[in-house]
């Protein structure tokens, strides 16, 4: 597929960028619906500011994550390429760290319970992940390993051999499948942070499996000849989700769920 969706003179609109726009729009719609349903923890009038800052956090964190984790030597040689985001190169784990840090700061300044805010954000992030993986597929990047299966795809810049469309595997598992899991947790869990813990475990486990069908990214390749860098970060996500789950369970046992950031009076009301 042509990675350029539309050309108007020298201007190019790329599918990669459009997928991110669709992902952020879908996330904003889900987040707004969740804030209305739960009556907080912030009013929907805060959504534009929160969405804008979340977009910046994901893009900056994702780009820096890719630069530092995967290709630091290259970007030290060509520093201006750091800003060439239209070539692709956004790390999910870097974007996640950026979002968590920015979210923590935003919640602390507004005195909003972080875990209560993180749950709807985790649910809303899933469609964005799906659209981003579709954008990777159209861009012909983050390709799968060589396969002889009938649905193998020949990517123009990766030689004549067919490869697993691992980007689409991820789009399916980390999109609808993960969303279904989180939706069930959302219905059953009464503890703030339950959806976030399920997101960390669910995404980490699903991505860990798909990485076996994905071509290891140069120059890191396979760490110790066993796992990709993405798998190592996913294991960290799973461990973090399990630790958070045990923390929430222990707090439930003693009957005192700490929101991590105390709410300010009136901050949990929603727009009329």
pLDDT given for residue 8 in this prediction: 87
Only one residue has tokens 């970007």, namely 75
Residue 202 inside a domain? The answer is yes
Residue 11's Cβ-count burial label (10 Å; 0-12, 13-18, 19+) is exposed
CA separation, residue 217 to residues 70, 142, 143, 207, 223 (Å): 7, 7, 9, 15, 11
Q: Which residues contact 247 (CB under 8 A, 6 or more apart)?
A: 193
Query: Half-sphere exposure (CA, 13 Å, Cβ side) for 238?
Result: 14
Residue 265 inside a domain? The answer is no
What are the tens digits of pLDDT across the range 64-102? 888 887 777 778 887 887 877 666 677 888 999 999 999
* Pairwise pLDDT comparison (29 vs 5), residue with the higher score: 29
What are the tens digits of pLDDT across the range 146-155? 999 999 999 9
Share of the chain above pLDDT 70, in %: 90
Number of domains in the chain: 1
Residue 41 inside a domain? The answer is yes
pLDDT given for residue 259 in this prediction: 53
CA distance 237 to 178: 14
In order, the DSSP letters of 186-252 are HHH--STTHHHHHHHHHHHHHHHHHGGGBPPPTTT-EETTTEEHHHHHHHHHHHHHHHHHHHHHHHH
Residue 33 inside a domain? The answer is yes
Residue 77 inside a domain? The answer is yes
Q: What is the 3-state secondary structure (H, E, C) of 169-192?
A: HHHHHHHHHHHHHHHHHHHHCCCC
Confidence band (pLDDT; 50, 70, 90) for 16? confident
Residue 4 inside a domain? The answer is no
Residue 212 inside a domain? The answer is yes
Residue 271 has pLDDT above 80, yes or no: no
* Pairwise pLDDT comparison (227 vs 71), residue with the higher score: 227
Residue 122 inside a domain? The answer is yes
φ and ψ at residue 148, rounded to 5 degrees: -110, 15
pLDDT given for residue 140 in this prediction: 87
pLDDT given for residue 270 in this prediction: 39
pLDDT given for residue 269 in this prediction: 39
| Strands (DSSP E) found in 113-256 | 222-223, 227-228
CA distance 192 to 198: 12
pLDDT given for residue 144 in this prediction: 94
Mean of pLDDT values over 164-177: 96
Mean of pLDDT values over 155-173: 93
Tokens of 29: 């719609």
Give pTM, 2 decimals: 0.84
Q: Which of helix, strand or coil describes residue 132?
A: helix
pLDDT given for residue 84 in this prediction: 73
What are the tens digits of pLDDT across the range 105-128? 999 998 989 999 999 999 999 999
pLDDT given for residue 131 in this prediction: 93
* Pairwise pLDDT comparison (196 vs 2), residue with the higher score: 196
- Largest interatomic CA distance in the chain: 65
Strand partners, 14: 4
Q: Could you tell me the residue range of the domain that residue 205 belongs to?
A: 10-253
């Amino acid at each position: 597929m042509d990675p350029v969706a539309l050309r108007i003179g020298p201007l190019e609109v790329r599918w990669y960028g459009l997928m991110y726009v669709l992902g952020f729009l879908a996330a904003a719609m889900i987040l707004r619906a969740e804030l209305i349903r739960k009556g907080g923890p912030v009013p929907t009038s805060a959504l534009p500011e929160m969405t804008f800052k979340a977009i910046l956090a994901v893009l900056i964190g994702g780009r820096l994550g890719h630069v530092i984790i995967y290709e630091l030597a290259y970007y030290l040689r060509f520093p201006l390429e750091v800003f060439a985001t239209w070539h692709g190169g956004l790390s999910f784990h870097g974007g996640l760290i950026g979002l968590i840090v920015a979210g923590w700061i935003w919640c602390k300044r507004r005195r909003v319970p972080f875990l209560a805010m993180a749950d709807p954000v985790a649910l809303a992030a899933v469609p964005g992940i799906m659209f981003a993986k579709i954008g990777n597929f159209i861009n012909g990047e983050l390709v799968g390993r060589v396969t002889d299966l009938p649905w193998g795809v020949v990517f123009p810049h990766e030689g004549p051999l067919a490869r697993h469309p691992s980007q689409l595997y991820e789009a399916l598992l980390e999109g609808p499948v993960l969303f279904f899991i989180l939706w069930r947790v959302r219905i059953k869990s009464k503890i703030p942070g339950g959806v976030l813990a399920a997101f960390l475990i669910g995404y980490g486990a699903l991505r860990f499996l798909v990485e076996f069908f994905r071509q290891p990214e140069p120059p890191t390749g396979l760490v110790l000849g066993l796992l990709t860098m993405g798998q190592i970060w996913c294991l960290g996500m799973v461990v973090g989700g399990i630790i958070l789950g045990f923390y929430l369970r222990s707090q439930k046992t003693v009957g005192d769920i700490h929101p991590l950031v105390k709410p300010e009076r009136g901050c949990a009301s929603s727009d009329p």
